[in-house]
């Protein structure tokens, strides 16, 4: 996986030479499409090809190789030069590149891995055939740096492909076009490396039966760096039904947000790749996500109209760590009960919010309430009538539908820690609904803001990101900052008596809310930690300019949302 979007320069002469070669080989100008010369696929045909993937929603990502002997990050912990990227890892080159000579994972069992994925409710599996470190986990004929030359001698990709095919699990492989081990990579002989790359993809797409997914990890490389038009055309000729991600310098079939939940996007397919722990490869005593975090991640991905590719890193023995297996099985048990709201659905019609997300199928809308920032969840109005409402998770739902919106409440005793799922049955297919922006009711939404500090002065972490009703964006501050403020101008004086604040990483230890009066800041509320979500009630205060003043933080504070609510009339 990538650690940075920074990509080294390839010589202009080399880029032009590769581009010219691609043009000559196809006899047509390169237009940015992945397969010049291939019959154009209509949107209907593409949707039909991708239908199983859109319905599946949940897949297993596996990062594994000899580096598991060290328990460090795959690829990135390798020392030596990283041509095109820069930096280096902590394991000396002569050690890292020879780990395979000790690699003998005799407890690897492909059928067991497939069984674990299925017990988690996953519908497909993607495995690292070759990472940036250049080590091939399959029996390639193009290099000796491969798993079949290790003491293990077996072809891991081959065994996994067979197990997936026999077990009814869709199979795909990850492949890294960057290769810090190959002697020709990003040198004057880069053209020879491209021939090697294309040769390995031909092997992978020819020798292992049906391939459902090809998952590239190009580290920001451009299409001409890999001669991707030729490459993707070859792949699609060998595997006509394959689904390809967007990391070979071309859009291909879907986007791939990494280690974050993608934004609500219904016009183009996407899939978040996220680790169950803190790194992609196995790490001893790693912190793994709680079941709550796992379910939140899955629901928010699906509610945003995306998929979740959830990663584990097997141990050097070949086994997936028992803690990880147990967590995956817990997810599977949850999906056994509530999978109808996840599989075969589309995200929406309501945009995700701090409260959770929604999905729909047929005439049903599933409202996944992951947290209760207030007693009643307020949804925007819809153009169809709700004819019935119920909960999948138990208990009664109180619902009110008006022209102004939809109000949902569930008794506290029936709210579920993981996810309270409310089902709204409509008098027509939910797909006919127009997507509405879910308003929180906060008077800060979309208002002008400024802050004492912004992480590396990046717009994507500006103060406005804490005022956008989007739980996936945040205001962030620089490392080493231990106090900071976020200021919002409401445009006119507003009487408020409640706030909701949510924070990433639990860094804040004390803060106060202030309003500006005749150029003097007056404090009207105080508290300690914020955490994942804090609702505050206070004596009514009338103000136009309000400040969240963070007095103490253990590290640079970062705020998902800062919301203020007016006194109810």
**DSSP per position, 449-501:** EEES--GGG-GGGSGGGGSSS-TT--EE--TT---EEEEEEEEEEEEEEEEEE
Instruction: Return the pLDDT at 436.
Output: 53
Map tokens 């920074």 to a residue.
Answer: 6
Phi and psi angles of residue 544, each rounded to the nearest 5 degrees, phi first = -105, -45
Structure tokens at 379: 């949804």
Task: Report how far residue 51's alpha carbon sits from residue 59's, in angstroms, rounded to the nearest whole number.
Answer: 15
pLDDT of residue 6: 29
Side-chain-side CA neighbours of 532 within 13 Å: the count stands at 10
pLDDT of residue 568: 75
Measured CA distances, 452 to 68, 467, 476, 486, 524 (Å): 43, 16, 11, 7, 20
Q: Give ∠ CA 360-362-368 in degrees, rounded to 5.
A: 25
Instruction: Please state, in angstroms and rounded to a whole number, the distance separating the CA atoms of residues 252 and 231.
Output: 12
> Is 547 strand, coil or helix?
strand
Question: Could you tell me the CA-to-CA distances from 542 to 243, 446, 538, 567, 568 in Å, in that order?
Answer: 55, 19, 12, 10, 13
Query: pLDDT tens digits for the chain (569 residues)?
Result: 643 332 333 333 333 343 334 333 333 333 344 544 445 789 899 999 999 999 999 999 999 999 999 999 999 999 999 999 999 999 999 999 999 999 999 999 999 999 999 999 999 999 999 999 999 999 999 999 999 999 999 999 999 999 999 999 999 999 999 999 999 999 999 999 999 999 999 999 999 999 999 999 998 899 999 999 999 999 999 999 999 999 999 999 999 999 999 989 999 999 999 999 999 999 999 999 999 999 999 999 999 999 999 999 999 999 999 999 999 999 999 999 999 999 999 999 998 888 999 999 999 999 999 999 889 998 888 889 999 999 999 999 999 998 878 999 999 999 999 999 999 999 999 999 876 555 567 899 999 999 999 999 999 999 999 998 887 789 999 999 999 999 999 999 999 998 989 898 889 999 999 999 888 999 999 999 998 778 888 999 999 999 999 999 999 999 999 999 998 74
Instruction: Give the CATH architecture of domain 448-566.
Output: Sandwich (2.60)
3-state secondary structure 255-313: ECCECCCCCCCCCCCEEEEEECCCCCCCCCCCCCCCHHHHHHHHHHHHHCCCEEEEEEC
What fold does the segment set 346-432 form as a domain? Immunoglobulin-like (2.60.40)
Tell me how far apart the alpha carbons of residues 399 and 426 are, in angstroms, rounded to a whole number: 13
CA dist 309 and 271 (Å) reads 7
Widest distance between CA atoms in the chain: 77
Rounded to whole angstroms, the Cα distance separating 421 from 434 reads 21
CATH 2.60.40.1180 domain extents, the chain: 346-432
Q: pLDDT value at position 373?
A: 82
Residues of the chain within CATH 2.60.120.260 domain(s) are 448-566
Task: From 250, 224, 228, 185, select the one nearest 17 (Cα to Cα).
Answer: 224
Say if residues 391 and 414 touch (Cβ distance below 8 Å): yes
User: In 3D, which of 488, 481, 437, 493 has the Cα closest to residue 463?
Assistant: 488
CATH 3.20.20.80 residue ranges in the chain?
34-337
φ, ψ dihedrals at 26, nearest 5°: -105, -15
CATH of domain 34-337: 3.20.20.80
């Amino acid at each position: 996986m990538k650690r940075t979007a920074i990509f080294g320069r390839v010589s202009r002469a080399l880029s032009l030479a590769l581009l010219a070669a691609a043009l000559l080989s196809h006899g047509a100008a390169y237009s940015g499409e992945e397969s010049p010369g291939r019959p154009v696929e209509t949107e209907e045909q593409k949707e039909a090809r991708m239908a199983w993937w859109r319905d599946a929603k949940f897949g297993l990502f596996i990062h594994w190789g000899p580096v598991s002997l060290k328990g460090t990050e795959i690829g990135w912990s390798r020392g030596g030069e990283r041509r095109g990227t820069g930096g280096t890892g902590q394991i000396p080159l002569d050690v890292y590149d020879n780990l395979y000579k000790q690699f003998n994972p005799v407890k690897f069992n492909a059928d067991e891995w497939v069984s674990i994925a299925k017990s988690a409710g996953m519908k497909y599996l993607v495995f690292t055939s070759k990472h940036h470190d250049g080590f091939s986990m399959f029996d390639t004929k193009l290099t000796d740096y491969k798993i079949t030359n290790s003491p293990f001698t077996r072809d891991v990709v081959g065994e996994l492909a067979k197990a997936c095919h026999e077990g009814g699990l869709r199979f795909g492989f990850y492949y890294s076009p960057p290769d810090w081990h190959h002697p020709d990579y990003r040198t004057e002989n880069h053209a020879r490396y491209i021939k090697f790359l294309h040769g390995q993809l031909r092997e992978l797409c020819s020798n292992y039966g049906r391939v459902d997914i090809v998952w590239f990890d190009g580290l920001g490389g451009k299409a001409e760096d890999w001669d991707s038009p030729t490459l993707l055309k070859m792949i699609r000729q060998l595997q006509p039904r394959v689904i390809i991600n967007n990391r070979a310098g071309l859009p291909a079939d879907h986007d791939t947000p990494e280690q974050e939940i993608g934004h609500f996007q219904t016009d183009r397919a996407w899939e978040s790749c996220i680790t169950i722990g803190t790194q992609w490869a196995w790490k001893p005593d790693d912190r793994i996500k709680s079941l709550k975090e796992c379910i939140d991640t899955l629901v928010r991905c699906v509610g945003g109209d995306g998929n979740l590719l959830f990663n584990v890193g097997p141990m050097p023995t070949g086994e997936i760590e028992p803690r990880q297996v147990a967590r995956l099985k817990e997810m599977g048990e949850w999906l056994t009960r509530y999978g109808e709201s996840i599989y075969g659905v589309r995200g929406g019609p309501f945009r995700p919010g701090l409260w959770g997300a929604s999905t729909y199928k047929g005439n049903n809308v599933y409202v996944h309430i992951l947290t209760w920032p207030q007693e009643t969840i307020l949804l925007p109005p819809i153009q169809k009538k709700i004819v019935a409402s119920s909960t999948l998770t138990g208990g009664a739902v109180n619902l009110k539908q008006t022209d102004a919106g939809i109000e949902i409440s569930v008794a506290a005793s029936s709210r579920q820690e993981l996810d309270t799922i409310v089902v709204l049955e409509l008098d027509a297919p939910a797909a006919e609904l127009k997507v509405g922006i879910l308003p929180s009711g906060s008077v800060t939404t979309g208002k002008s803001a400024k802050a004492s500090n912004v992480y590396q002065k990046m717009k994507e972490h500006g103060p406005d990101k804490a005022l956008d009703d989007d739980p996936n964006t945040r205001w962030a501050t620089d490392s080493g900052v231990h106090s900071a403020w976020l200021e919002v101008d409401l445009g006119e004086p507003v009487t408020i008596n409640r706030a909701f604040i949510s924070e990433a990483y639990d860094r804040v230890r004390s803060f106060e809310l202030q309003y500006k009066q005749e150029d003097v800041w007056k404090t009207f509320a105080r508290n300690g930690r914020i955490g994942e979500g804090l609702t505050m009630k206070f004596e009514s205060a009338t103000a136009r300019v309000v400040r969240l003043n963070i007095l103490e933080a253990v590290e640079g504070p970062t705020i998902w949302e800062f919301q203020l609510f007016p006194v109810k009339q």
